[in-house]
Amino acid sequence: MRIQISESFSYRKLIRFTIPTITMMIFTSIYSVVDGIFVSNFVGSAPFAALNLIFPAVMMLGAVGFMIGTGGSALVAKTLGEGKSDQANRYFSMLILCVVISGLALTVLGLLTVRRVAMLLGATGTMLEDCVLYGGILLFGNVAFMLQNSFQSFLVVAERPQLGLGISILAGVTNMVSDFLLIYVFRLGLAGAAWATVLSQVVGGIVPLIFFLCKNSTPLRLVQCRFDGRALWKSCMNGSSEMLTNLSMSLVNMLYNMQLMKYAGSDGVAAYGIIMYISFVFVATFLGYSIGVSPIVSYHYGAGHKGELKSLFQKSLVLVIVSSVVLTGVAEGLSGVLAGIFVSYDKELLAMTTTAIRLYGISFLVNGINIFGSAFFTALNNGAVSALISFLRTLLFQVATILIMPLIWGLNGIWLAIVAAEFLALVVTAVCFAVNRKKYQYI
């Protein structure tokens, strides 16, 4: 039986509703990891390092899709909660059109600057050419990637999280099969990995676009619309924290790589790339839950259901904390196994990566609470508080710790920088929960 966002949610119902989105995010992360596994094992550690050097820069462009998807879905869900379904569909349609237009513009910008960006990150010689090759191909899927990021949130508002999961599985299978064919069978190397990713993004972005263009039984569909600057601005403000999170992650990843080139060379970049792949999968649990629960929060906030808002807040904190403990235990216990999937052929790199995972993995104890905190205020249409948490957590605190801690602890200081940043962000999140409790009455 389909669960509607207007219902009252028990633990069981909340888990059932968010599981498809969590699985979708995990699966999306896993098929991203497949690129790294194939490139590392069948192309080599040098191209693998090049991939991880340029990948964060290209992913920055997809942040606009996250911003419009998360911020726009909060606005659309709130509008549905107010009983204005026609207006909600006009907002939805206008926002998707804005994603396409901005995606095209950013693709052109990316193609013009990819070489300069790679050089700025420290790439030279063969690594520079590999960065330009991989990044240039990846940009051709940027519009579809942005649509995919947006539809992840809108499919939840449309009460079709299972469809989002199905599309993610289809995109993931496309990526995995394409990786096998293009890298292992046809020996296209790094270019094959890039085209496999583009193909999966096309599937992930275009299939839901077709679904919403056709007649369907969901609360959302694409209709004729006109530009609404106020709605776009509100959506961008609501989702600014999510865009800031993605931009900050990419900028911080680039800073990590620059520091690692200084302290450990290309092996350090390769090790960090492996950590990022593992982190994608682990953090996807919290991101998936936050995306899944946000439209429910927005709806009940718009409808004025204060009791349900309290229940959602309390149950969410319990679920996130339990998940945090479990995932941290997995990261610590299986660090050697996880590192071996990528670099079992290199003992020194394997040892470095295993140590890095153990240190970095401590951050999973608290980052779920911070991710939920930012998403919760976005769902309440309070983009300012959400952006504050996100800015401090993903940019300011991390930049400071990445620059300072290696001076004290060397290479291990780089791996521990994220841990210090997340614990500092936890203090900010707790303060924001306390300060805003009377305004929204979720406690």
Sorted by sequence, the CB contacts under 8 Å of residue 304 that are 6+ apart come out as: none
**Residue 313: closest CA among 148, 423, 441, 122:** 441
What angle is formed at CA 208 by the lines to CA 204 and CA 210, rounded to 5 degrees?
Answer: 120
Q: What is the pLDDT of residues 198-244, one digit of tens each?
A: 999 999 999 999 999 998 889 999 999 999 999 999 999 888 777 87
**DSSP symbol at 2:** P
3-class state of residue 260 by DSSP: helix
Q: Give residue 143's pLDDT band: very low, low, confident or very high (50, 70, 90).
A: very high
What does the mean pLDDT of the chain come to?
Answer: 92
The Cα–Cα gap between 11 and 315 comes to 7
Q: Give residue 44's pLDDT band: very low, low, confident or very high (50, 70, 90).
A: confident
Q: Give residue 3's pLDDT band: very low, low, confident or very high (50, 70, 90).
A: confident
Q: Is the pLDDT of residue 443 over 90?
A: no
Phi, psi (degrees; rounded to nearest 5) at 187 = 55, 45
Residue 172: the pLDDT is: 87
Q: What is the pLDDT of residues 386-441, one digit of tens each?
A: 989 988 998 999 999 999 999 999 999 999 999 999 999 999 999 999 999 999 99
Residue 130: the pLDDT is: 96
Paired tokens of 290: 């936050």
Q: Is the CB of residue 362 less than 8 Å from the CB of residue 328?
A: yes
Residue 245: the pLDDT is: 72
Q: Is the pLDDT of residue 28 over 80?
A: no
The Cα–Cα gap between 321 and 367 comes to 10
Q: Is the pLDDT of residue 25 over 90?
A: no
3-class state of residue 198 by DSSP: helix
Q: Give residue 332's pLDDT band: very low, low, confident or very high (50, 70, 90).
A: very high
The distance in angstroms from the start CA to the end CA of the chain is 31
Q: Which residue has the higher pLDDT, 240 or 9?
A: 9
The Cα–Cα gap between 171 and 206 comes to 10
Q: Is the CB of residue 103 less than 8 Å from the CB of residue 65?
A: yes
3-class state of residue 422 by DSSP: helix
- In angstroms, the Cα distances linking 414 to 36, 52, 230, 268, 426 are 22, 17, 42, 10, 20
Q: Give residue 62's pLDDT band: very low, low, confident or very high (50, 70, 90).
A: confident
Q: How far is CA 164 from the centre of its chain?
A: 15
Burial of residue 347 (CB within 10 Å: 0-12, 13-18, 19+) is exposed
Helices (H) and strands (E) in the chain, counts: 19, 0
The Cα–Cα gap between 31 and 227 comes to 36
Q: Is the pLDDT of residue 89 over 90?
A: yes
Q: How many CB atoms sit inside 10 A of residue 187's CB? A: 10
328-337, Cβ contacts within 8 angstroms, sequence gap of 24 or more: 328/361, 328/362, 328/364, 328/365, 330/282, 331/278, 331/282, 331/357, 331/358, 331/360, 331/361, 331/364, 332/358, 332/361, 335/361
The Cα–Cα gap between 432 and 388 comes to 9
The Cα–Cα gap between 438 and 420 comes to 30
Sorted by sequence, the CB contacts under 8 Å of residue 369 that are 6+ apart come out as: 317, 320, 321, 324, 426, 429
Paired tokens of 99: 């994603």
Q: Is the CB of residue 342 less than 8 Å from the CB of residue 40?
A: yes
Average pLDDT over residues 362-388: 93
3-class state of residue 261 by DSSP: helix
Residue 85: the pLDDT is: 94
Q: Which residue has the higher pLDDT, 1 or 127?
A: 127
Average pLDDT over residues 149-178: 90
Q: Is the pLDDT of residue 1 over 70?
A: no
H-run or E-run covering 404: helix 397-409
Q: What is the pLDDT of residues 268-296, one digit of tens each?
A: 988 999 998 889 889 999 999 998 999 99
Which ranges of 158-228 would DSSP assign to H, the alpha helix?
161-179, 189-213
Average pLDDT over residues 74-102: 95
**DSSP symbol at 394:** I
